[in-house]
């Protein structure tokens, strides 16, 4: 939220508002929004998991029968989705250059 304070300060004094700094402020706001959207997307995808029952992961383990634990998002299902998001972010960054 630093960017909100910085933007407010820059807009109070238009003489100090250079385009490069304003671009930097906008970039910070965009990155903060992307992080928030990514966390929402991860949570929505976690809720679609077929092994999820409440907040418990009911995945069957070969070593421990009916291993029940609180979902921490570190399973292959979530890591695969996170990797797909990472690839998507990389593509968007390349397009912006």
pLDDT tens for residues 31-57?
A: 888 888 888 888 888 888 888 888 788
- Residues 65 and 42 occupy one common structural domain: no
Which segments of 13-97 does DSSP mark as H helices, in order?
19-47, 76-96
pTM over 0.75: no
List the 69-70 sheet strands across, edge first: 52-53, 56-57, 69-70
Residues paired with residue 44 on neighbouring β-strands, in sequence order: none
Q: How confident is the model at residue 77 (pLDDT cuts 50, 70, 90)?
A: confident
Using DSSP, state whether 70 is helix, strand or coil: strand
C-alpha–C-alpha distance, residues 31 and 10, integer Å: 19
C-alpha–C-alpha distance, residues 4 and 7, integer Å: 5
- Residues 30 and 7 occupy one common structural domain: yes
For residue 12, give the nearest of 2, 23, 4, 1 by alpha carbon.
4
Structural domain boundaries, residue 20: 1-48
C-beta neighbour count of 71 within 10 angstroms: 20
The count of structural domains within the chain is 2
pLDDT of residue 3: 65
- Residues 22 and 62 occupy one common structural domain: no
């Amino acid at each position: 939220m630093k960017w909100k304070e910085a933007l407010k300060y820059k807009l109070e004094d238009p003489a100090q508002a250079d385009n490069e700094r304003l671009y930097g402020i906008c970039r910070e706001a965009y990155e903060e929004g992307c992080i928030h959207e990514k966390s929402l997307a991860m949570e929505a995808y976690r809720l679609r998991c077929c092994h999820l029952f409440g907040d418990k992961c009911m995945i069957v383990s070969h070593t421990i029968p009916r291993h029940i634990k609180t979902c921490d998002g570190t399973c292959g299902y979530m890591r695969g989705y996170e990797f797909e998001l990472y690839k998507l972010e990389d593509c968007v960054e390349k397009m912006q250059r």
